[in-house]
């Protein structure tokens, strides 16, 4: 009977996937298919929640099979991240898009990422105070205790790492190792390595034009192939979103989410407000924010479902290019956005945790000195997390330890972490794309005709 139920569950998912393929044949737009897949995944996941217990072996084995589609799609995207970043940045150099502006462009992108993270921290503080969130009100079960111990152990491995050491971690001592993604800072290291080769190419071009032309032709050919691989993988986005969303919803602990409902609501209010800030920045730059939303829906839906900024990078860069951002700037913004200035994971989340935990050690989180110190530390740490692995966990560890607050209390939110992380990841990706758009607009390199053009379907 168990095997039969598993087969039925798999068959239903495949039937829904078949419906998405039918919509593709009917030439329904890519964005609509992604949104349909997201909605279908939520509905089917809730149905599975209603039919089975969260610990049911049928549900566990069914979602394990779903991972072939969802997890497989994420792995394919991660497979192409390093080649895409490296070849695209090199291609930008060979096409003379970045010749004398590398420092200015990268500085602008990083500045916007860190600046928006500081704003995100302020919003997180306001949300935590408005909803009166305090860690002392949270329950401490066995799962929470285990998570607290894990955080404390992780903290011991990173607490002594200084800022200069974090900066050194960004450099590509062994670029071939970084191409494997072995280090948390591998993506930025590959960006730096590509920029160094690009600078060398410009030097060779001035003295040996024939060699430079041969190299440029080779890079162009490789770039075309890599981009075609990216396009082929992105075609699978609706199916990947469907499987990922179904598994996430089906395995969510709804009881625990209900108990921590106030924190979940406060988090999403803060995330939504920060997304509105992104839209306001885009509007103030003279662009239509509704156009941004329309074109960004597929990548934001994927980021929300998959909870991986790295996996969303190919779609992130593709979306920026569809918004008129030059290729080189899109790659800088997307790549730096993976580990620097993450508005959700490194901005809102650690700020909210600090405000929640402060009263437990007798600190008043409403004092101006506490709030100002927290915003500054969050902004600095949003750059520092690149040296210790990135992500919400490391951001929280660095911020809480810098504020002399107990890190173990962050483990009390383990039951709602997946749900919150979905929104955080989507906001991280939006922040990276916003940095690319604003940098391009400020440098007068944004192609506004492309920005306002209709959404192009993947070929």
Q: Convert the pLDDT of each residue in 364-380 to its tens digit.
A: 888 989 999 999 988 88
Residue tagged 């951001």 (tokens): 395
Instruction: Give the pLDDT band of residue 117 (cuts 50, 70, 90).
Output: very high
Q: Average pLDDT for residues 188-213, to the nearest whole number?
A: 85
Contact 123, 277 (CB under 8 A): yes
First to last CA, the chain: 43
pLDDT at 95 over 80: no
Residue 458: count of CB within 10 angstroms of its CB: 14
pLDDT at 154 over 70: no
The pLDDT, as a whole number, for residue 124 is 93
CATH code at 334? 1.10.3860.10
The pLDDT, as a whole number, for residue 272 is 95
Which is higher by pLDDT, 251 or 431?
Answer: 431
pLDDT at 456 over 80: no
CA angle 92, 97, 100 (to 5 degrees): 115
Q: Average pLDDT for residues 284-299, to the nearest whole number?
A: 92
Residue 150 domain-assigned? yes
Handedness of CA 244, 249, 253, 257 (dihedral sign): positive
The pLDDT, as a whole number, for residue 387 is 44
Residue 156 domain-assigned? yes
Residue 354 domain-assigned? yes
Domain count, the chain: 1
The pLDDT, as a whole number, for residue 93 is 78
Q: Convert the pLDDT of each residue in 217-243 to its tens digit.
A: 898 899 889 888 888 888 888 898 899
Q: Convert the pLDDT of each residue in 57-67 to its tens digit.
A: 888 888 889 88
CA gap 312, 148 in Å, rounded: 29
Residue 76 domain-assigned? yes
Residue 164's Cα: distance from chain center in Å? 25
Residue 104: count of CB within 10 angstroms of its CB: 13
CA gap 338, 312 in Å, rounded: 10
Token readout for 237 is: 């986005």
Residue 34 domain-assigned? yes
pLDDT at 214 over 50: yes
Contact 246, 41 (CB under 8 A): yes
Residue 458 domain-assigned? no
Contact 138, 260 (CB under 8 A): yes
pLDDT at 160 over 80: no
Which is higher by pLDDT, 388 or 286?
Answer: 286
Residue 456 domain-assigned? no
Buried residues in 332-364 as b, exposed as e (16+ CB within 10 A) = bbbbbbbbbbbbbbbbbbbbbbbbbbbbeeebe
How many separate helices (H) and strands (E) can be counted in the chain? 20, 0
Contact 89, 192 (CB under 8 A): no
CA gap 156, 183 in Å, rounded: 18
The tally of CA atoms less than 13 A away on the side-chain side of residue 382 is: 35
pLDDT at 147 over 60: no
Percentage of the residues of the chain whose pLDDT score is greater than 70: 85
Give the domain extent around 218. 2-451
Could you write out the DSSP letters of every residue in 121-150? HHHHHHHHHHTT--GGGS---HHHHHHHHH
Which is higher by pLDDT, 30 or 221?
Answer: 221
CA gap 4, 159 in Å, rounded: 51
Residue tagged 């200084």 (tokens): 162
Buried residues in 10-42 as b, exposed as e (16+ CB within 10 A) = beebeebbeebeebbeeeeebbebbbbbbebbb
Ranges 74-78, 173-177, 388-392: which has the least confidence: 388-392
CA gap 399, 418 in Å, rounded: 21
Q: Convert the pLDDT of each residue in 161-171 to its tens digit.
A: 666 776 777 78
Residue 221 domain-assigned? yes
């Amino acid at each position: 009977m168990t095997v039969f139920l598993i087969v039925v569950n798999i068959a239903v998912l495949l039937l829904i996937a078949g419906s998405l393929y039918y919509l593709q044949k009917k030439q329904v737009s890519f964005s609509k298919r992604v949104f349909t897949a997201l909605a279908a995944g939520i509905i089917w996941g809730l149905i599975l929640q209603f039919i089975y217990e969260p610990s049911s072996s049928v549900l566990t084995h069914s979602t394990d099979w779903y991972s072939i589609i969802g997890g497989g799609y994420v792995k394919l995207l991660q497979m192409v991240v390093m080649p895409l970043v490296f070849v695209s940045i090199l291609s930008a150099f060979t096409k003379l898009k970045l010749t004398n502006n590398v420092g200015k462009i990268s500085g602008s992108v990083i500045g916007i990422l860190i600046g928006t993270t500081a704003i995100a921290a302020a919003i997180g503080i306001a949300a935590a105070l408005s909803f009166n969130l305090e860690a002392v009100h949270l329950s401490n079960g066995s799962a929470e205790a285990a998570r607290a111990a894990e955080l404390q152990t992780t903290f011991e491995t990173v607490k002594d790492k200084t800022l200069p050491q974090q900066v050194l971690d960004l450099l590509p001592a062994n670029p071939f190792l970084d191409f494997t993604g072995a280090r948390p800072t591998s993506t930025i290291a590959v960006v730096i390595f590509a920029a160094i080769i690009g600078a060398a190419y410009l030097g060779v071009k001035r003295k040996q034009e024939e060699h430079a032309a041969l190299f440029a032709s080779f890079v162009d050919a490789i770039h075309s192939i890599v981009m075609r691989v990216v396009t082929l993988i992105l075609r699978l986005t609706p199916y990947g979103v469907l499987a990922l969303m179904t598994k996430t919803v089906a395995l969510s602990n709804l009881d625990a989410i209900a108990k921590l409902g106030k924190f979940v609501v406060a988090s999403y209010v803060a995330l939504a407000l920060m997304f509105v800030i992104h839209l306001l920045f885009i509007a103030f730059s003279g662009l239509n924010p509704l156009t941004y939303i329309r074109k960004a829906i597929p990548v934001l839906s994927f980021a929300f479902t998959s909870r991986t900024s790295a996996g969303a990078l190919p779609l992130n860069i593709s979306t920026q290019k569809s918004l008129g951002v030059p290729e080189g700037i899109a790659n800088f913004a997307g790549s730096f956005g993976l580990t620097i200035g993450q508005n959700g994971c490194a901005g809102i989340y650690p700020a909210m945790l600090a405000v929640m935990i402060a009263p437990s050690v007798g600190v008043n989180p409403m004092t101006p000195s506490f709030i100002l110190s927290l915003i500054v530390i969050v902004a600095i740490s949003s750059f520092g997390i690149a040296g210790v692995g990135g992500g919400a966990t490391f951001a929280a560890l660095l911020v809480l330890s810098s504020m002399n607050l107990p890190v173990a209390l962050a483990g009390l939110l383990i039951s709602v972490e997946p749900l919150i992380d979905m929104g955080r990841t989507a906001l991280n990706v939006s922040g990276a794309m916003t940095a690319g758009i604003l940098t391009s607009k400020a440098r007068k390199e944004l192609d506004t005709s492309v920005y306002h053009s209709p959404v192009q379907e993947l070929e």
